[in-house]
């Protein structure tokens, strides 16, 4: 790639990134003065300081949930949605470099947040700075919005959307190139019901993972084991415990996994009478798409609905089933919930919403996507098609936003891992791509 940005702006960007990575902006909910802890507050203030040094107007939410920095004039508001929080640097001893200190070595930028999301955010910010340095005039306002709670519950963007102006269109530098234009809706739910005196279950698991293992210990364990073995499921016995094995995948790829818990529930439903067992048996055995309840829910941009039965706990008082549904972008979530609730009518089961993230969908022929794609392809020659995935970025929080970079083909995804790093070439090329994209979208020609 031919660089048009100067060494000077590249160096300034890396210096700013060093300031950002030095702040361990990990969630701390035990601080009474800030919503997400003092380090995140410090990080928010640091980001604002950086933006002020670039001549932007800034604002920090007095409650500490978000901040933003803006430059330019006009009605339209172009957004760059970033997040300043990072996941903890677990196993700090395994790191080759201190996680909260930027190390530039072996042609890479090392440190927690270098790839997710401080590196890409800085690349976008200094791409804008480079354009302004080169004398380009903005044709609208450009606002960098800094979220502080992306790695957990997105409370930052909930507050932003309650109180602040939505962008007209925008990009989210928190994923991969070329761009993500469709992300399924995410609905996590609980189905609660009565307990059981016949059996107990304690299969807890993360909602976003298809369970690879499910265990049962108790009454009729022999028969449960026999049923599973006769059904050709992978099953072991350890003493008085049955262990069913499946294949774990991310919930968004539930149709490529093998849900051990659903197999166990199927076996248990042969022995015990309980509404939650019936519900799963009737609806989700051999059907991760929930067609028995919803019919075929599918669309061209994002594929089929998937349903992951993630955990089930049953004791003598209550039962709780937890599920993770990935909803196609053109499907109506409220309709699906209505249908689900109807299917529970007459049983003792109740629906409870746990978490919901709306889908993201920007049509491929929109100005935003055609422009971003053209710029990206011209610069890189990479003709990879735009991505439709079940992942989640802030692009879902506002209309007309897409995830754009910064992970490139062939670059290792080290986000959330030990020795998180962004290769220098990836960093410089990302700045270049963002500069050209912003030039095309927000400057006067
Ligand atoms: Zn991120």
Tens of pLDDT, residues 74-120? 999 999 999 999 999 978 899 999 999 999 998 999 999 999 999 99
pLDDT digits (tens, 9 = 90+) for 148-204: 999 988 999 999 999 999 999 999 999 999 999 998 999 999 999 999 999 999 999
Tell me whether residue 93 is exposed, middle or buried, using C-beta atoms within 10 angstroms of its C-beta: 0 to 12, 13 to 18, 19 or more. Answer: exposed
Q: How large a percentage of the chain has pLDDT more than 70?
A: 100
Residue 114 CA, ligand 1 centroid: distance in Å: 10
| 70 token code pair | 């803006």
Distance 26 CA to ligand 1 centre (A): 13
> Does residue 389 have a pLDDT over 80?
no
Does residue 145 share a domain with residue 232? no
Looking at the fold, whether 437 and 382 belong to one and the same domain comes out as yes
pLDDT of residue 305: 97
What whole-number distance in Å separates Cα of residue 336 and Cα of residue 323? 14
Q: Provide the domain limits for residue 349.
A: 185-357
Does residue 223 fall inside a structural domain? Answer: yes
The predicted-structure confidence for 15-59, as pLDDT tens digits, reads as follows 999 999 999 999 999 999 999 999 999 999 999 999 999 999 999
Residues 140, 284 within the same domain? no
Q: Which of 302, 336, 357 is the last residue of a domain?
A: 357
Q: Are residues 60 and 171 in the same domain?
A: yes
How remote is the CA of residue 118 from the centroid of ligand 1, in Å? 9
C-alpha 96 chain-centroid distance = 27
125 and 437 Cβ atoms separated by less than 8 Å = no
* Nearby residues of 410 by Cβ (< 8 Å), 6 or more positions away: none
Q: Residue 73 burial (CB < 10 Å; 0-12/13-18/19+)?
A: exposed
202 and 296 fall within a common domain: yes
The pLDDT value given to residue 90: 79
- Per the domain annotation, does 123 fall within a domain? yes
Q: Please check whether residue 1 lies inside any domain of the structure.
A: no
Asked whether residue 271 is domain-assigned, the answer is yes
pLDDT in tens, 56-73: 999 999 999 999 999 999
Instruction: Note whether 408 and 177 are within 8 A (CB).
Output: yes
Query: Distance from the CA of 393 to the center of ligand 1, in angstroms?
Result: 7
Residues 248 and 307 in one domain: yes
- Phi, psi angles (nearest 5°) of residue 335: -60, -45
Q: Assess whether 45 and 164 both reside in one domain.
A: yes
CATH number at residue 284: 3.30.70.360
Asked whether residue 335 is assigned to any structural domain, the reply reads yes
* 237 and 270 housed in the same domain: yes
pLDDT of residue 292: 94
pLDDT for res 310: 95
pLDDT higher than 80, residue 220 = yes
Q: Which domain CATH number covers 172? A: 3.40.630.10
**Domain end marker among 357, 390, 414:** 357
Last residue of a domain, one of 342, 357, 372: 357
Report angle CA 405, 409, 411 to the nearest 5 degrees: 90
CA of 32 to the centre of ligand 1 (A): 25
Q: How many domains does the chain have?
A: 2
Q: Are residues 271 and 134 in the same domain?
A: no
DSSP state of 366: S
Query: Which helix (H) or strand (E) segment is 19 a member of?
Result: helix 7-21
151 CA from centroid of ligand 1 (Å): 7
| 2 domain-assigned | no
- Together in a domain, 307 and 434: no
Same-domain status, 170 and 199: no
Instruction: Check whether residue 152 and residue 276 sit in a common domain.
Output: no
Q: Is residue 67 part of a domain?
A: yes
Tell me whether residue 51 is in a domain.
yes
pLDDT, tens digit, for every residue of 109-163? Answer: 999 999 999 999 999 999 999 999 999 999 999 999 999 999 988 999 999 999 9
């Amino acid at each position: 790639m031919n660089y048009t940005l100067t060494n000077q702006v590249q160096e300034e960007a890396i210096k700013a990134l060093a300031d950002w990575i030095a702040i361990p902006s990990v969630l701390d909910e035990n601080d009474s003065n800030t919503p997400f802890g003092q380090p995140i507050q410090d990080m928010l203030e640091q980001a604002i300081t950086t933006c002020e040094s670039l001549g932007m107007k800034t604002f920090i939410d007095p409650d500490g949930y978000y901040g933003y920095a803006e430059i330019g004039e006009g009605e339209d508001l172009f957004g760059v949605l970033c997040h300043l929080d990072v996941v903890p640097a677990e196993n700090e001893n395994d790191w080759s470099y201190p996680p909260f200190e930027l190390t530039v070595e072996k042609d890479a930028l090392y440190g927690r947040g270098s790839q997710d999301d401080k590196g890409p955010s800085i690349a976008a910010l200094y791409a804008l700075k480079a354009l302004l340095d080169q004398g380009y005039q903005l044709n609208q306002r450009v606002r960098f919005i800094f979220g502080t709670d992306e790695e957990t519950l997105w409370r930052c963007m909930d507050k932003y959307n309650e109180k602040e102006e939505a962008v007209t269109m925008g990009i989210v530098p928190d994923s991969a190139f070329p761009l993500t234009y469709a992300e399924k809706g995410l609905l996590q739910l609980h189905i609660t019901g009565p307990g059981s005196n016949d059996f107990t279950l304690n299969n807890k698991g993360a909602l976003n993972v298809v369970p690879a293992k499910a265990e049962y210990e108790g009454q009729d364990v022999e028969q449960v084991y026999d049923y599973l073995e006769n059904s050709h499921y992978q099953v072991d016995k350890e003493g008085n415990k049955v262990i069913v094995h499946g294949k774990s995948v991310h919930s968004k790829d539930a149709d490529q996994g093998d849900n051990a818990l659903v197999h166990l529930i199927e076996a248990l439903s042969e022995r015990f009478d309980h509404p939650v067992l019936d519900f799963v048996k009737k609806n989700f055995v051999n059907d991760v798409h929930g067609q028995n309840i919803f019919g075929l829910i599918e669309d061209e941009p994002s594929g089929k609905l998937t349903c992951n039965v993630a955990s089930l706990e049953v004791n003598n008082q209550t039962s709780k089933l937890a599920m993770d549904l990935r909803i196609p972008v053109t499907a109506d979530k409220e309709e699906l919930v209505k249908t689900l609730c109807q299917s529970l009518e007459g049983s003792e089961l109740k629906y409870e919403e746990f978490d919901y993230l709306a889908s993201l969908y920007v049509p491929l022929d929109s100005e935003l996507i055609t422009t971003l794609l053209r710029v990206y392809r011209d610069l890189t020659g990479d003709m990879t098609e735009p991505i439709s995935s079940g992942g989640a970025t802030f692009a879902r929080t506002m209309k007309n936003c897409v995830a754009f970079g910064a992970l490139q083909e062939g670059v290792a995804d080290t986000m959330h891992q030990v020795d998180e790093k962004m290769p220098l070439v990836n960093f410089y090329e990302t700045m270049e791509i963002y500069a050209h994209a912003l030039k095309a979208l927000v400057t006067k020609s």
